[in-house]
Structure 1
Amino acid sequence: MIPALAAPSAVAAPIDVSGLNTSAWQSSVLGPSTADVHPVQVEGRGEVAHPQSLLKSHGPATTLTTKAGGPPASVLLDFGKEVGGTPYLDLTRVTGSPTLTLVTAEARQYIRTPASTTVSAAAASGSTQIPLASAGNLETGNTITFTPATGTPVTRTITGFDATARTVTVKPALPAALAAGTAVATSPGAPSSDESRGLAGVGGPDTFQPTGPGRLTGGFHGGFRFALLTVSSLGSVNLSSAGLDFQAFRATPADYQGWFLSSEDDLNRMWYSGAYTLQMNLKAPGLNGLPDARIYDGAKRDRSIWTGDLLVQIPTLLTSLGKAGATYVKSSLDVLLATQRADGAFPGSPDFSKRTSPAGSPLFYSNNYSGYGARAFIDYFRYTGDKAYLTAALPALRKELAYNDTFLSTDNLVVSNDRDYWQATQTGEVTKYSIDYYVLLKEMSWLERSVGSAALADGDDAKAEAVKTAVISKLWNPQLGAYGQSSAKPDVLVEDANALALQYGFVPEGKEAGVLAAMKSLWTPYGAIMGPGLQDPTGHTIEPFANGMETAGRFAVGDTTGALDLMKRTWGPMIDKKNPLYTGAFWEFKNSTGGVNRATASLAHGWAASPSVQLTEQLLGVKPVGAGYQSWSIAPHPGSVRWASGAVPTAYGTIKTEWTSDPRSGRFTLTVQAPEHTTGTITVPVGRTSVVTVNGRAGKDFGSGANSSGGYVTLTVPDGTSQIIVS
């Protein structure tokens, strides 16, 4: 039953569109206002005078002095959020022959590395010089703790060390003898960088030996929040300023072609954190010796194009920056085309290792990731409508599809001893890989109907349906009430496959609630784990990439409450400025306690940015249907959110929309401004007795074009301004 459309009124009420042009969202933008970025906090250690002057444009010079026997003078610069570029120091005076070292880190906990070694030979009671197996990460002034196998640990202060002889000098003297093999640890540790320089080709420590006043400029650092400057040898320097030449994509509000705002501040901050993550992932043309623009997976690591990451990065980038982002997408896809293998496979990362060349070399990571590469091209077309580019790329995509087809079993399931995003090898007939191949086939069918062959599209559709039938009949586990990992591990409940099953209609009819409940059993306060006993090689159990699959799946079956709950668990801690890992950007992964297990974990990683595109497409409700949004749909999933508004850039202009929702009264109002030469559908939530008005009256086109399903009414509308009121 379609809820009643209101009777025509004599004069249509004027439509209030003032909210569609709100600028309130601009205060949420995280990019710096200028390329010259300065720290927001500073701390000194050792002999440091006037460290706070580095936060101002005036005041007495900051002076760092390192003397014999004393701790190296250092200042910790905190930029407040993720930044990237070349740090600089302005020196006004140099005394002696000091050596300056500068290291960077996304997390403060990784900007110093404690020593972890052993006593190499017995040390007698009363000794002040102790031989060690390693002198790495020692620093004068730190504490050092000797922990014997039995007895009480002894803590002393380091007064010196000899890296060549591998000895450390301490005070006061040892109260008792230490045996060889005694464990040794220090606090807080020596300056260190969390960058993987060999892999990324950039970063690592900067070392300066100034002889007089002037500006010192460090090397390029792709992503960091903290910088630690240390006078690591005897001498003194005066600093008038310290800062950064910002060289990621610096987006001010004027650069945003799309935006989002809602009644819930945490959702707003997530949207702009996702957008900022993508900006930190962009390499400008000419930077690091490469002429082209690229989308990298992470700001500091790997600084490579990855096909799986592109599935999140492309829609996030194009719905926020529009045409400016499209340039980065297209040039990154060009690198994929240039590195496609003769058998059709796309590399998972076409520019992975930078050890021999800034351009990198291709890594054929997995067959599943090869399919992701083809889908990245299709996403680019869906959001931009760039028909010429996709027509030219279509033969390459057909080759890739044929390559992936070779992994289908006679049962129409994907069999592959293959790696996935969490770096584990999955065997047997794999549920997720099979659903992923179904998605690729459906995507290729859509593309073929748009720029290619209808006959090939029919074949892709038929093969896709055969895969779906096989997955449902062979991989569904009635005992789990959900899908298992694979035919080899049918009893392992996995988040990713079940999330995709919800999103793409693989769950047997009437079983959706059971799958949602099963997946919720994987939830922790910090997000959903991948599955019982599953973890990446470093022990991370929560993957934001997979959690984004789950929120998408929950939105798809109408579980807005569950989707937003999981979103807040997973990404809420990342936007909390009190969290020690806060960067203003999204993290690559988490461990079971909500942290990260290694220094090189990326804290500005593109594959984690799914909240941004999902808040636009699911909560606000705006999605492309035809290429470039020539046709579109607006279908909000409001849940308990009271209102949302936003803009989405398209090939034809900007779609602007806003809605308000009052669940108590059942009143829902949606207004949209759509570009000329586009058409779309608007879907609004209704009750059995709701009255729906369109632009203040009921036109026959809306009446004949309306259909109702699952508590929603869908209306077909033309371009221009439309207002739907449900009361």
Structure 2
Amino acid sequence: MKKLLALLICLFYLENQPTLAQNLPPIFGTNVISEKDARIKQYLTATRIVWKTSGTGISGEQNLLRPGTGQADLVHQNICTLTSKEGEKPGLILDFGKEIQGGIQLVTDQPSDHRPIKIRLRFGESVSETMSEVDTVSGATNDHAMRDFVIEVPWLGVMQAGNTGFRFVRIDLVDDNRELQLKEARAIFEYRDLDYVGSFKSNDERLNTIWNTGAYTVHLNMQQFLWDGIKRDRLVWVGDMHPEIMTINSVFGKNEVVAKSLDQARDITPLPGWMNGISAYSMWWVLIHRDLYKYQGDKQYLKKQQKYLVALLDLLLSKIKDNKENLDGTRFLDWPSSENPKAIHAGLHAMMIMTLDAGAELCTILDEPAQAQKCKAASTNLKLYVPDANGSKQAAALLALSGLVPAQKANSEVLAVDGCARMSTFYGYYMLQARAKAGDYQGAIDCIRNYWGGMLDMGATTFWEDFDLDWTKNAAPITEIVPEGKDDIHGDFGAYCYKNLRHSLCHGWASGPTAWLSEHVLGVTVLEAGCKTIRIQPNLGDLKWVEGTFPTPMGAVKIRHEKLANGKIKSTIDAPKGVKVVDGNL
């Protein structure tokens, strides 16, 4: 009996351990790990030396551009040597070619002095950030991730340091009269090893690059959780997640980081609290679940949200007064609209309608008819009042998407005015969506080329927390030391929480064009949950052809559209079994 009881206890223990913990070496016995890191590491060799201090303190720096092994040895060949004197501290900047998340691996050789050597490391999303000081002037910080610090490296060994978002690294000797012999300096690239199931390609290479850059921006932020920035902020901001999740749906399909992050936000936000302290972000949580169910069709996962969802909808219903939104908590759409209270009210009122409509959909699916009816009735009453966007493109987009204002009216009077002026990287997605609803596909495509393409022109390999085309008029790209008389595109601009070099140059909320191009140009709209039925209706604008793939739970749909001489579109579609395709042109 005792043996049976012991066996049952052992089986219970094994069944209740994280499955990934089974790979622990036997010597660990009953030690428990909470989870295995879902990411992999790759080592990258620098593509160029951006800069080095003048004088004779550095030699052999081109050796750092040679592929390495990560192993110290006794051969003493192909070494970069940095030698300091009193008052002369050598340093150099390496460019790894693309923005990445991770750190740096330094492999040292064997100078005559065996003592550890102090070096200063500065990681930067731009060259100017690597040349900055952590102060209140330039905006450079160590907030969220250490990117400027002093470490010691060993004699004839390997040191790994850093955990941040960067493309450039500066290495400086700290002490006088020391010699650093560097065999290798490789970037440590940490990311989820994912297949890009979705794709987009057209005759316009600029649009192709924008689609891929948006996809890569979100990919980098798919770390242990879904962050909005790999340098700053490395947090789960629920509103920021909506465009990210729409991009994930269009590029990667289902991924566990989405549910993990949504559930974390739910579990640390007991009601009546607002997620991240922001009422709109709790509304985005509802909208995300509606869109996630539409794309993935995972009813079992949706059922896990039922209790919280119904209670949250009750909370939202209690924040209506005289058929107007009366939300408390932090009242926020995005930073550029944060000083326009009339626009915030208009946006929140529109979001309340959108959320209650989505809540009614979800409650119908979850067999909560009474709650669904309450949401529908409240939404109908809210639509009796139409607030003024007060010139805000953010508010105008939401008013159009909620149906409060005709999309053509919002577009002609606000959204299309002055082209890309007063855009924002987060709400730019909803501005594009509203312009599509208005039928202004060409205007939206042009805006994508100019606004998101403007970041590419400044050297971006990921999309930024915020951007204004006016910044570029006299600016040097992020890949250069800023010349005399030029503006620093990274260090001279920004506002609110992203002033100057604190500005994140990899922010997932800026990925909207990727999802938008897949939906409106490639033409895929999900009609039935889990992509069981999709409509394909391309809007090529001035494009000659477009092709790509779209992920569904049943596999990828392959699509190609060509514009014929008579202006009609010839489409070739190959859908997997289980996916019904409706031709939107019929």
Q: TM-score, length-normalised on structure 2?
A: 0.81
Q: Structure 1 residues 270 and 626 mapped into 2: Cα distance closer, same or farther (>3 Å)?
A: same
Give 1:73-222 correspondences, 5 Å limit.
73-96=90-113, 98-113=117-132, 194-197=140-143, 200=144, 202-221=145-164
Distance 2:311 2:294 in 1: 20
Greater Cα shift, 376-385 or 432-441: 376-385
SS in 1 for 2:232: coil
Structure 1 match to 2:275: 347
Greater Cα shift, 416-425 or 430-439: 416-425
Q: Deviations over 1:60-80 (max 9, x none)?
A: 31111111132x111101111
SS in 2 for 1:35: strand
Structure 2 match to 1:450: 365
Distance 1:340 1:425 in 2: 27
Contact 1:105–1:194 (Cα < 8 Å) also in 2: no
Following superposition, the deviation at residue 339 of structure 1 comes to 1.4
Amino acid at match of 1:557: A
Distance 1:389 1:57 in 2: 45
Amino acid at match of 1:667: K
Contact 1:35–1:250 (Cα < 8 Å) also in 2: no
Structure 2 match to 1:586: 463
Structure 1 match to 2:235: 304
Q: Structure 1 residues 106 and 95 mapped into 2: Cα distance closer, same or farther (>3 Å)?
A: farther
Pair 1:466 & 2:474 matched: no
Q: Structure 1 residues 573 and 93 mapped into 2: Cα distance closer, same or farther (>3 Å)?
A: farther
Distance 2:200 2:183 in 1: 40
Distance 2:192 2:139 in 1: 23
Amino acid at match of 1:44: K
Pair 1:336 & 2:232 matched: no
Amino acid at match of 1:298: G
Pair 1:678 & 2:555 matched: no
Pair 1:520 & 2:401 matched: no
Amino acid at match of 2:436: F
Q: Structure 1 residues 40 and 260 mapped into 2: Cα distance closer, same or farther (>3 Å)?
A: same
**Greater C-alpha Rg:** 1
Q: Structure 1 residues 220 and 606 mapped into 2: Cα distance closer, same or farther (>3 Å)?
A: same
Q: Structure 1 residues 463 and 680 mapped into 2: Cα distance closer, same or farther (>3 Å)?
A: farther
Distance 2:252 2:411 in 1: 36
Amino acid at match of 1:422: W
Distance 2:321 2:111 in 1: 71
Contact 1:415–1:427 (Cα < 8 Å) also in 2: no
Distance 2:203 2:402 in 1: 30
SS in 2 for 1:375: helix
Following superposition, the deviation at residue 495 of structure 1 comes to 0.4
Structure 1 match to 2:547: 645
Contact 1:503–1:554 (Cα < 8 Å) also in 2: no
Distance 1:646 1:194 in 2: 40
Q: Which has the higher strand share?
A: 1
Match of 1:420 among 324, 327, 333: 333
Following superposition, the deviation at residue 453 of structure 1 comes to 2.8
Distance 1:645 1:57 in 2: 36
Match of 1:226 among 168, 190, 206: 168
SS in 1 for 2:505: coil
Match of 2:61 among 51, 55, 68: 51
Following superposition, the deviation at residue 388 of structure 1 comes to 0.5
Distance 2:283 2:322 in 1: 20
Q: Deviations over 1:366-410 (max 9, x none)?
A: 211221122222222222111001012122112112222222221
Greater Cα shift, 418-427 or 232-241: 418-427
Structure 1 match to 2:298: 386
Match of 1:369 among 258, 265, 281: 281
Following superposition, the deviation at residue 247 of structure 1 comes to 1.1
Match of 1:315 among 246, 252, 258: 246
Pair 1:279 & 2:219 matched: yes
Q: Structure 1 residues 114 and 57 mapped into 2: Cα distance closer, same or farther (>3 Å)?
A: closer
Q: Deviations over 1:226-266 (max 9, x none)?
A: 10000121211111111122112244xxx112111111111
SS in 2 for 1:528: coil
Amino acid at match of 1:69: G
Following superposition, the deviation at residue 426 of structure 1 comes to 5.8
Contact 1:94–1:237 (Cα < 8 Å) also in 2: yes
Q: Deviations over 1:37-77 (max 9, x none)?
A: 1111113214211211111148731111111132x111101
Structure 1 match to 2:433: 552
Q: Structure 1 residues 300 and 195 mapped into 2: Cα distance closer, same or farther (>3 Å)?
A: farther
Q: Deviations over 1:190-228 (max 9, x none)?
A: xx994533xx2x32334233451111111322x101100
Distance 2:171 2:139 in 1: 12
Distance 1:85 1:239 in 2: 20
Q: Structure 1 residues 92 and 80 mapped into 2: Cα distance closer, same or farther (>3 Å)?
A: same
Match of 1:236 among 179, 188, 194: 179
Following superposition, the deviation at residue 568 of structure 1 comes to 1.6
Distance 2:193 2:149 in 1: 24
Match of 2:48 among 41, 45, 52: 41
Structure 1 match to 2:399: 501
Aligned residues: 506
Distance 1:250 1:38 in 2: 19
Amino acid at match of 1:568: R
Pair 1:615 & 2:517 matched: yes
Q: Structure 1 residues 653 and 37 mapped into 2: Cα distance closer, same or farther (>3 Å)?
A: same
Structure 2: which 5+ runs fail to align?
A: 1-38, 69-76, 473-488, 495-499
